A and B are shown apart, each in its own frame.
Chain A
């Protein structure tokens, strides 16, 4: 066992109850680990298990070297014994207490004389100085979220759990709060678990992302790796990635392979070995696709050229959603976004012939 995992969070959990959960994970101190997945995937149950609020479990939870749960040794600490800070989805502030008292109630383990000073300092840290005497219902959504975060940190926890902390506020506030969390985390040297169903949020804040589905971890990876090398078509679909196809392996070389994609040859840079004739799934992520007008070719070799027809063009703000139907297989369209200014400059329109270039290094075989 490495020192890093000893001094972070380490959990191996199997549910013995109705809700499926089978998870092994670790999160180092100072790291933000995002848990993403569709609703019902077990994200919140996982958080509640770590906090001691869900106990139909086998396995263990160890945080900063101390066992919170160890079903073999019959250890199962109560929530109040675990030193967890948690921000609930709807914040769960104590509605009868003002902001400062909400913090003070989470500090019962500290000497009475220290509490007031520390609580005031914490209010300052989350930019809430001056609002100490407001009741929760007198605060805006964003302010409530800050109180909830301050309360979670006020107990000086060994683990911070954030359950969709930005879902209950408007878009503008959400961006500001995310930025504040990104800044605040540098001062917090504990593992942070962030549950979200918002992929952008996970990409912006997390060091690593866990993809959950039906209570199981499908992949744990850095945001970049996850988007470029999802481990399975299921993960790719959960991430909202499109353009997942199948193909047959035609040639295997040292650092690439050639696929037959319904009659079109696709070369993919890949060092993993595959057998000749094997049926595989592959994906063309957004960054792998280049669109060109056949009558205005770009100088140089085109990688994996695919001729097709532009069958759909939908302007969505600064981006345009594009669907291209390949000539060799009209039933397998590719969908991706291109900037609006490119559409305008190239005078693209529905029904025109286009050619795509799929960059071998950005394509991915599962």
Chain B
């Protein structure tokens, strides 16, 4: 078991889910509730990472973080570090790659809230933030949980983008899925098997958790 790789994977998965959580709430809610101009365009952009080969996303990201490109030079100016082949670079591209997982479930659960219930909260004297906190978020929370867990699990399994952008630096950008690839290349099937089993179990448990919580919520008739 490559413990370093496991640590990098878990950190990447956690921080990706963490930063995408509020983004998912506000973008997902806006897409569900507000009549945005260019909505199909925004929606398509968000879905793009789902269908794009990870190499394509990785390629464009590398172009964007080149030292003479805007993102690359801006980041260097801010931190004094380049983005390519670093954990931070990996995290940023991971945020982009996981947008559909972080937004779609949240958007669906906000869309499922009766618009009269939203209006009722305002008429009852709650301002926007109070209504969000006391009415909308409690009703949308299965979607929020799904978004968090799906993002987490999907990041754990991310391979192509990580390889393109992060490379394979031990303790910095080598994740578990890449370590598995390395072990298989070196014909260490036992080590690869252990790590694969771990990822399999993690993925299955978190999907099970999503299903179980969503089901219980529906059973309680709280929709």
Contact = CB atoms under 8 A, between A and B. Distances in A.
Interface of A: 48, 51-53, 78-80, 82-86, 88-90, 92-96, 105-109, 135, 137, 151, 155
Interface stretch (B26-34, B56-64, B90-98, B123-131): B123-131
A95 B222 contact: yes
Given A135-B222, A137-B221, A95 B125 contact: no
A79 B119 contact: yes
B139 interface: yes
A79 to B, nearest CB: 4
B-side binding surface: helix, strand, loop or mixed?
helix
Task: Choose among B120, B127, B139, B222 the residue with the greatest number of A CB atoms under 10 Å from its CB.
Answer: B120
Given A92-B114, A95-B223, A86 B123 contact: yes
Given A95-B223, A96-B138, A96-B139, A80 B116 contact: no
Contact of B125 (A48, A53, A80): A80
B222 A80 contact: no
B132 interface: no
Contacts of B111: none
A89 B117 CA distance: 11
B222 A137 contact: yes
Contacts of A95: 117, 139, 221-223
Task: Choose among B117, B138, B223 the residue with the greatest number of A CB atoms under 10 Å from its CB.
Answer: B117
Interface residues of B, number: 21
A88 B120 contact: yes
A92 B117 contact: yes
B216 to A, nearest CB: 13
Contacts of B126: 80, 105, 108
Contacts, number: 73
Contact of A86 (B120, B130, B222, B223): B120
Contacts of B123: 51-53, 79-80, 82, 84-86
8 contacts: A48-B119, A53-B123, A79-B122, A80-B127, A82-B123, A85-B123, A89-B116, A95-B117
B121 interface: yes
B39 interface: no
Interface in B96-152: 114, 116-117, 119-127, 130, 134-135, 138-139
A105 B124 contact: yes
A48 B130 CA distance: 21
A107 B126 CA distance: 9
Given A86-B120, A90-B116, A137-B221, A108 B125 contact: yes
B125 A92 contact: no
A-side binding surface: helix, strand, loop or mixed?
loop
A78 B125 contact: no
B139 A92 contact: no
Contacts of A135: 220-222
Contacts of A96: 135, 138-139, 222
Given A105-B134, A108-B130, A135-B222, A53 B124 contact: no
B125 A155 contact: yes
Contacts of B120: 86, 88, 92-94, 151
Contacts of B124: 80, 105-106, 108, 151, 155
Contacts of B116: 88-90, 92
Contact of A109 (B121, B125, B134): B125
A78 B222 contact: no
B121 A78 contact: no
A163 to B, nearest CB: 9
Contacts of A92: 114, 116-117, 119-120
Contacts of B114: 90, 92
Nearest to B117: A92
Contacts of A52: 122-123
A107 B138 CA distance: 19
A4 B222 CA distance: 44
Given A52-B123, A95-B139, 10 more contacts: A79-B122, A80-B127, A85-B123, A92-B119, A95-B222, A96-B222, A108-B126, A109-B125, A137-B222, A155-B124
A162 B19 CA distance: 43
Contacts of B135: 94, 96, 105
A51 B121 CA distance: 12
B55 to A, nearest CB: 44
Contacts of B117: 92-95
A85 B127 CA distance: 15
Contacts of A105: 121, 124, 126, 134-135
